[in-house]
């Protein structure tokens, strides 16, 4: 257990940013810390975290994937804090590793033999969470509601989970994979009108960008067009990688379909921040590829 004394009036998490919060998207760390401060959450970066491998390392060596991610979880265990990652792919990969090691004592021992060379031990006690469940369950909808100073009433919003917090269905125990509600529960507290659309559960194609960019663009365009047909003001996603597709390459994807529209897409913490009284400048909306020209 960590010897650090944490403020008992706040929720504390070991923060694993993943690779997607680096480079051009490093701004999301500042956004997260601002937004979470509004609901008494403090993030603590832990040292020596490494890339989860995004499932690619596992294709070459399952044991290597298991070891590096057990090492990541051990970092949070050492701090005595829940493991929080905003990246849905990191959540998926690391949760799968946790499940595999829980199911196999042989693999658990093999991994710890590897980690022992660095003086690291994975105990299997790590609790992994994601932005959705942190806000909906740990913080709680009532506290979130108390902090709303700019309810977004009348804003028509299409919600989008993406794939990696929902599938495979046995890696998270928070809600139904077939019919999750955490994102909509949060959005209702913000005051928006949630609009259903027929491509809500489709994949945005982000991870196909490199092996087949054409198909990836078609998938992105299809998801966005499904929402756009319902006359929504914007889309919101809880996955930063889906955000990269839906906002970042939307113009190319839509053009490839022979269409001409731009639908604003927000990363969930941005919308929460706006509802909590922060400005578009605070949330750095000027960095979006699709201009966010709606009433906020």
149 and 118 within one domain: no
205 and 103 within one domain: no
Whether 109 maps to a domain, the answer reads yes
pLDDT of 3: 58
146 and 124 within one domain: no
Number of domains making up the chain: 2
188 and 110 within one domain: no
273 and 170 within one domain: yes
178 and 45 within one domain: no
pLDDT per position as a tens digit, 98-121: 999 999 999 999 999 999 999 999
Instruction: Check whether 197 has a pLDDT greater than 80.
Output: yes
pTM of model > 0.85: yes
pLDDT per position as a tens digit, 158-176: 999 999 998 777 777 788 8
281 and 247 within one domain: yes
Query: For residue 52, what are the domain limits?
Result: 11-129
163 and 254 within one domain: yes
246 and 170 within one domain: yes
pLDDT of 172: 74
206 and 100 within one domain: no
207 and 167 within one domain: yes
Paired residues of 234 in beta bridges: 157
Domain-terminating residue out of 101, 129, 157 = 129
Whether 1 maps to a domain, the answer reads no
pLDDT per position as a tens digit, 14-42: 999 888 787 778 899 999 999 999 999 99
The domain spanning residue 30 has which CATH number?
1.20.1050.140
Whether 279 maps to a domain, the answer reads yes
Whether 294 maps to a domain, the answer reads no
Whether 154 maps to a domain, the answer reads yes
Q: At what angle do helices 105-116 and 62-79 cross, to 10 degrees?
A: 70
233 and 152 within one domain: yes
Domain-terminating residue out of 95, 129, 163 = 129
The domain spanning residue 176 has which CATH number?
3.40.50.11810
């Amino acid at each position: 257990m960590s010897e650090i004394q944490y403020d008992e009036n706040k929720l504390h998490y070991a923060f694993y940013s993943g690779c997607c919060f680096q480079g051009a998207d490093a701004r999301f760390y500042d956004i997260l810390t601002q937004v979470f401060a509004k609901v008494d959450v403090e993030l603590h970066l832990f040292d020596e975290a490494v890339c989860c491998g995004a499932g690619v390392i596992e294709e070459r060596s399952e044991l290597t994937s298991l070891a590096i991610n057990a090492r990541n979880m051990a970092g949070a265990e050492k701090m005595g804090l829940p493991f929080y990652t905003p990246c849905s792919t990191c959540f998926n990969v690391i949760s799968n590793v946790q499940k595999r090691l829980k199911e196999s004592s042989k693999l658990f021992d093999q991994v710890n033999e590897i980690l022992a060379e660095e003086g690291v031990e994975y105990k299997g006690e790590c609790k992994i969470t994601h932005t959705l469940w942190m806000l909906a369950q740990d913080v709680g909808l009532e506290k979130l509601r108390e902090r709303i100073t700019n309810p977004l009433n009348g804003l028509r919003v299409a919600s989008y989970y993406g794939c990696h917090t929902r599938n495979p269905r046995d890696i998270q125990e928070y809600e139904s994979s077939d019919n999750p509600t955490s994102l909509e529960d949060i959005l209702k507290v913000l005051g928006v009108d949630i609009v259903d659309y027929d491509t809500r559960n489709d994949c945005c194609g982000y991870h196909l960008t490199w092996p087949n960019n054409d198909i990836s663009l078609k998938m992105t365009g299809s998801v966005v067009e499904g929402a756009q047909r319902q006359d929504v003001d914007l889309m919101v996603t809880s996955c930063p990688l889906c955000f990269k597709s839906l906002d970042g390459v939307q113009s190319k994807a839509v053009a490839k379909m022979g269409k001409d529209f731009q639908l604003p897409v927000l990363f969930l913490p941005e919308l929460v921040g706006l509802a909590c009284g922060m400005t578009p400048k605070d949330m750095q909306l000027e960095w979006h590829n699709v201009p966010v020209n709606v009433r906020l």
